[in-house]
């Protein structure tokens, strides 16, 4: 009788403690399954950059690049150091990790006139109070490519996708 009671108690303890832990470990945060490896897409369309903006969502922070027309070429990945294009100078960024974001679009028109301007190259977008983003800084626009550095809290999952006239970068708040 004692043995049956001990086995029943052990089974109950396993159900209470082990099952919830393994169930929660198997389910990703907010259903996010993006990963943190580099993401890129070849360019078939290009247009001029007109704006960079950011927003906060329940499960991620979002960086949006707006264009005068459709653009679909990009490369986004974690790096040890974001560098300025074309000089190669380091771009200082706050945060525990750095994403280099390059879009296949110039920040000027065909006559060389700027289509995207900023007042502070180190603070393109105010991300004060964001859960994941720490800083968005200019890294250059050269030969049809525009680059920014995105300082984030830690190396977290991210995704990149295109919408008409936009490229979107979402970085999760947690794994």
Q: Which helix (H) or strand (E) holds 3?
A: helix 2-13
Structure confidence at residue 29 (pLDDT): 83
3-state secondary structure of 50: strand
3-state secondary structure of 138: strand
pLDDT of 71 > 70? The answer is yes
What value does the mean pLDDT take over residues 119-143?
97
Q: How many CB atoms lie within 10 A of CB 83?
A: 16
CATH code, residues 39-172: 2.60.40.3500
Structure confidence at residue 6 (pLDDT): 47
Query: Residue 108 — very low, low, confident or very high, per pLDDT cuts 50/70/90?
Result: very high
Mean pLDDT of all residues in the chain? Answer: 89
Structure confidence at residue 17 (pLDDT): 42
Q: How many CB atoms lie within 10 A of CB 138?
A: 21
Structure confidence at residue 28 (pLDDT): 66
What value does the mean pLDDT take over residues 45-63?
97
What value does the mean pLDDT take over residues 146-173?
98
Find, among 155, 142, 136, the residue nearest to 82 by Cα: 136
Query: Where do we find the tokens 């499960």?
Result: 59
* Model confidence, pTM: 0.84
């Amino acid at each position: 009788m004692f043995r049956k009671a001990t086995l029943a108690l052990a089974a109950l303890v396993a159900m209470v403690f082990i099952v919830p832990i393994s169930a929660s470990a198997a389910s990703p945060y907010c259903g996010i399954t993006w990963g943190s490896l580099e993401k890129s897409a070849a360019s078939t369309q290009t247009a001029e950059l007109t704006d960079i903006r950011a927003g906060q969502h329940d499960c991620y922070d979002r960086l949006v690049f707006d264009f005068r027309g459709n653009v679909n070429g990009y490369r986004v990945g974690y790096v040890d150091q974001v560098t300025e294009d074309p000089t190669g100078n380091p771009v200082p960024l706050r945060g525990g990790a750095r994403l280099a974001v390059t879009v296949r679009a110039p920040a000027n028109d065909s006559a060389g006139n700027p289509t995207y301007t900023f007042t502070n190259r180190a603070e393109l977008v105010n991300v004060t109070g964001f859960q994941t983003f720490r800083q968005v800084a200019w890294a250059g626009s050269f030969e049809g490519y525009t680059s920014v550095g995105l300082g984030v809290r830690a190396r977290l999952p991210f995704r990149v996708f295109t919408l008409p006239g936009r490229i979107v970068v979402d970085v999760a708040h947690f794994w």
